[in-house]
Amino acid sequence: MLRIADLRVRFATRNGPVDAVRGIDLSLGNGETLGIVGESGSGKSVTAFSILRILDQGGEIVSGAVRYGGMDLRQASERDLNDIRGREISMIFQNPRAALNPIRKVGHQIEDVLRQHAQATRQDARAKAIAALEEVQIKDAAARYHAYPFELSGGMCQRIVIALALACRPRLLIADEPTTSLDVTTQKTVMDLIRTLARDRKMGVILITHDLGLAGQYCDRLVVMKDGQIVESGTPADLSRAPTHPYTRRLVAATPHPGKKLHQLVVDGTPAPIPARGEVLLSVRDVTKTYAGKSGPVDALRGVSFDLPQGGCLGLVGESGSGKSTVSSIIARLQDASGGDVLFQGQSLCDVPASRFSRDPRRPLIQMVFQDATDSLNPRQTASQAIAEPLRRLGGLRAGARRDRVHELAEQVGLPANLLTRLPHQLSGGQKARVGIARALAVSPRLLILDEPTAALDVSIQALVLNLLADLRHRLDLTYLFVSHDLSVVQMLCDTVAVMRRGQIVEFGATEQVLNTPADSYTRQLLDAVPQPIV
């Protein structure tokens, strides 16, 4: 159905031309699901964009052929392409909210597509739009027709985007990281939906993802891309059983799945020793948090209690909105609790309000690594300035000693010293994560709160960062509170797990026990959603 031959794409940038895609050959049969797996910058999205010729500014297809059916898409006129886009070949984007017009009702947006491609008339557009919503399993579609995107959850929005993409019954769907911004359970429902629709309609699907586990579960055939080239292709089973290319081997190793040990994520990894558990370091007692919402008060936390011993690592697991980030920011003293108490080394943290905690002597002892490494670094500060920032206020070091400490920290987290003068946008995602970790470690904290530190990273970088964290925990005798939505990551790093839902802990216990014999139905649901290893 689709055949790409020797595709080359070049981008004109400030530092001269960059070859994003260097000679790719791909083919896709009718009704086949093809997974393109690779890390950011590998050229997988650019390849997909080239099919519909929607490259960003400065991008140019240098050579190669893209044939769809009997048609040469590279030579096709813009008008023919407009006919094909949406009707023959459709696309789903990574961020569903950004892909929807925020001030137009979702039903109208579907109507627009239908009428654009003359699939509906003014009279029957509405009925067809509602039918399209029903097809993506939206309950009460007639009422949702009138909803605006901001009134819907992320998973709902992605379903709307899928409904939009499939409204005109295309024969090929390109899904560019369709579930990256979604929770695991939502990810599972969205991917199951795409698979069901593809089977029913005999539609070809190209799934672009960085998640080898996900691709392996849903695709018939995989290609692995690196630096604009295909390094390996085959069925998921072949690739995971006998990867031939070293990069694929690294990728397969780095993909977490239940039962895997942390050191197995990196090739030739060795397990880091686990520090001895001490006395209770942190004790959270019946903490509540109530926000003043537009329609009455909202209970973000309804009584959360747990103990964390010195040297322990507690995984706080839950989906967005479960309150796990609220708990962590209350413990980090970035906001105040509405009720309850937090004891640190036996003393209450809540007697000093969050607004004055920055001058508290205990401030250096509790530090945090943030979710989004890009957002958590000041765009105007170099890496060394960012790492030195806590030292400046809390460290009490002179300029010379501070510089030495920054270099020491950079070495600890494996950040090359020559990168210290760079600004955040000049660093890669993994390097930014390391800067964030170094900054948190700068003032020698006892308790480190890790708020999804690897959520925005590629799997192979995630593997390195997780191993680094395990190593640092042992070397510096740290206590971790690890906040995550990803159970497969938590099970490798943490010795205790707390599962949160709607502001409460629904299950708490040793990692093995919670994962192998979950007592709560919600925990089971979370476990089911984790992509299974491809064997």
Partner 1 sequence: MTGTTQSHGFASHVGHVMRQNPVTMIAFGMLGLLVFCAVFGPALVPHDPLASGARILQPPSGEHWFGTDHLGRDVFSRVIVATRLDMVISVGAVALSFVAGAILGCAAGYWGGWPDAVISRGLDMIMAFPLFVLAMGIVAALGNTVENVIYATAVINTPFYARVVRAEVNIRREAGFVQAARLAGNSDLRIVALHIFPNALPPMMVQVSLNMGWAVLNAAGLSFIGLGVRPPTPEWGIMVAEGANYIISGEWWLAVFPGLWLMFAVFTFNLLGDGLRDIVDPRQRR
Which residues lie near partner 1 (CB under 8 A)?
A: 14-15, 329, 332, 334, 355, 358-359, 363-364, 367-368, 370-372, 375-380, 382, 386, 389-390, 392-394, 418-423, 425-426, 436, 439-440, 443
* Shortest distance, position 367 Cβ to partner 1, whole Å: 6
* Shortest distance, position 388 Cβ to partner 1, whole Å: 9
The CA-atom distances, in angstroms, between 360 and each of 112, 352, 355 are 57, 8, 10
Helix (H, G, I), strand (E, B) or coil at 302: strand
Toward partner 1, which CB reaches closer, 95 or 305? 95
For the chain, helix, strand, coil in percent to 5 are 40, 25, 35
Residues making up the chain, counted from first to last = 535
* Shortest distance, position 377 Cβ to partner 1, whole Å: 6
Toward partner 1, which CB reaches closer, 107 or 364? 364
Is-contact 174 208, C-beta < 8 A? yes
Amino acid at the residue 21? V
* Shortest distance, position 78 Cβ to partner 1, whole Å: 29
Toward partner 1, which CB reaches closer, 65 or 334? 334
In whole angstroms, give the CA distance from residue 136 to residue 67.
29
Amino acid at the residue 7? L
Is-contact 391 442, C-beta < 8 A? yes
Toward partner 1, which CB reaches closer, 304 or 388? 388
Give the closest residue to 287 by CA, choosing from 363, 248, 249, 338: 338
Toward partner 1, which CB reaches closer, 236 or 429? 429
In whole angstroms, give the CA distance from residue 121 to residue 132.
15
Give the closest residue to 2 by CA, choosing from 59, 54, 60, 65: 65
* Shortest distance, position 357 Cβ to partner 1, whole Å: 8
Both tokens of 13, joined, read 């940038």
The CA-atom distances, in angstroms, between 43 and each of 55, 233, 531 are 12, 15, 24
* Shortest distance, position 188 Cβ to partner 1, whole Å: 28
Toward partner 1, which CB reaches closer, 14 or 122? 14
Toward partner 1, which CB reaches closer, 213 or 424? 424
* Shortest distance, position 261 Cβ to partner 1, whole Å: 31
